[in-house]
Amino acid sequence: MRIDSKRSKELRNQAVAVWTRDLDTTDQAGRLHIARAVRNIFRAEYDTKEVSLDLLENGLRPLAILKSIYLFAIGIFLGKPLALQCALFGGVSTLKGFTDFPEAPNFIYLDGVRTLVLLRQLRVRWPNAKIVCDLDDLMSRRMNFWIRHRVGISFGYAEKLFGAPMVNFLSKGTLARLLILYERFALSRAEREILHLSDAVVLISSVDAQEMRQRSPEYLHSKIHVVPPPVMAKGAPIDRTPPYRLVFLGTDKLVQNRLTIEYLLDIWRTDRPRTSLHIFGIQKRAYKTIPPNVVFHGFVEDLNEIYDGHSVLLTPSMIGGGVKTKVLEAFSYGVPVIGTNFTFEGMNLPAYPLIFEDRHSLVAAITNLDALTESFSLAVRIGTEFLANELTPAKFAARWRQLAGSRPSAIQDDLSCLLLPSPPIHISSTR
């Protein structure tokens, strides 16, 4: 990406971006793609300083652990419970990275709900600073889905901190249910507090944004913004031709993927469709009985190896929240997607023909894919038109510039740096 060299560094506005993860990892998770695109905009628009709250980088040092325990305990004592993940990241939250600014930076970006403790400090230090918190999705709403499906608690990349034995102990049984009930309540409080303290909050889904508005007083509604990720079609849509094959992308380390994989395996085990199902992505579990016509492929480097002229993405989602990156990826390759309403949540897809809410209709579709040929063509057209109309890099950059209060600059010269995804891609975005 080019940056306007004519613009003097001294004259450029100053910004601070606070990340809770390593953006330069080889991991290609959907959220990381979005964060990298946001970072590229900031670097073009501002003299940007970056601060890391990455626990894997900072480690669980004794002082950080003690601070996290204190934050959690004081929240309980004051009757203002702090979400466990907010307390954990609060242990490494300080204003040390902001010492270069005697006055408030022009703009401060915070990566997610986990930055709440730092947000409190920043609002006291610079009460008039422009602060935007990028929530991505409503974690409290996601917790509701986890509780509904009784799936325990998911630690995400924090599993590397605690180790497998501790994660297994905390993610099963009564203790896990108590933890997730507490976290749902505390995260809901955290999201409300972030909305009060920030100048703007950002979500990628209009459905999450609408729920947040319903939870919030009307005078705060103008702070809630929707910025979907940037995606562009890889080329002209390709008509699917028989024989069809169904594919699913995702690792069962993510709760939403595990539920879908188990659901699909049960369909192939019980209803025995003749169509083959190909599952891509590294799986954590060892499935003892794999039904006929189901093939696990593991890790694949490049989506081009998956999305040929016969593949159809099958991803009936059990859990809502955010926008499903794998669906956007499939559309970008001209691939039709079969799913549920949750699969396409947050997308404006009028008259989309491949939504099946109940198992009976889904099985009927799977067992007679030849009858869906016209629906596949219509689905691809609707999906690619959605990308072209709503998810262009130019619109993504414009939305973020408006939020940051900056003007168009050299980033207009090359918007390809904002695209999601950038092939070749690892299938960890769905793992």
The enclosing domain of 181 has a CATH number of 3.40.50.2000
Could you tell me if residue 235 is inside a domain? no
Expressed as residue numbers, the domain containing 49 is 14-230+392-420
Q: Is 101 found in the same domain as 133? A: yes
Could you tell me if residue 429 is inside a domain? no
Q: Is 415 found in the same domain as 379? A: no
- For residue 201, which of 214, 213, 183, 217 has the smallest C-alpha distance? 213
Cβ distance 306 to 282 under 8 Å? no
Question: CA 327 to CA 105: how far, in whole Å?
Answer: 37
The better pLDDT of the pair 354, 156 is held by 354
Q: Which amino acid is it at 117? A: V
Half-sphere exposure of 408 (CA within 13 A, CB side): 8
DSSP secondary structure, 319-332, as one string: --SS--HHHHHHHH
Read off φ and ψ for residue 351, nearest 5 degrees: 60, 25
Q: Is 257 found in the same domain as 205? A: no
Half-sphere exposure of 49 (CA within 13 A, CB side): 17
Could you tell me if residue 431 is inside a domain? no
Give pLDDT tens digits for 189-239: 999 999 999 999 999 999 999 999 999 999 999 999 999 999 988 876 666
Give pLDDT tens digits for 364-401: 999 999 999 999 999 999 999 999 999 999 999 999 99
Q: Is 222 found in the same domain as 75? A: yes
Give pLDDT tens digits for 48-84: 889 988 776 766 688 888 999 999 999 999 999 999 9
Sign for the CA dihedral angle at 359, 360, 361, 364 comes to positive
Give pLDDT tens digits for 323-369: 999 999 999 999 999 999 999 999 999 999 999 999 999 999 999 99
Question: CA 36 to CA 291: how far, in whole Å?
Answer: 39
Could you tell me if residue 425 is inside a domain? no
Structure tokens at 378: 């219509």
Cβ distance 354 to 59 under 8 Å? no
β-strand partners of 14: 47
Could you tell me if residue 238 is inside a domain? no
- pLDDT category at 284 given cuts 50, 70, 90 is confident
Cβ distance 36 to 393 under 8 Å? no
What pTM, to 2 d.p., does this model score? 0.85
Q: Residue 17 is inside which H or E element, if any?
A: strand 14-19
Could you tell me if residue 53 is inside a domain? yes
Domain tally, the chain: 2
Structure tokens at 22: 């390593």
Give pLDDT tens digits for 97-118: 787 777 778 889 999 999 999 9
Q: Is 192 found in the same domain as 77? A: yes
Structure tokens at 178: 């108590």
Cβ distance 379 to 336 under 8 Å? yes
Read off φ and ψ for residue 109, nearest 5 degrees: -110, 130
Cβ distance 114 to 49 under 8 Å? no
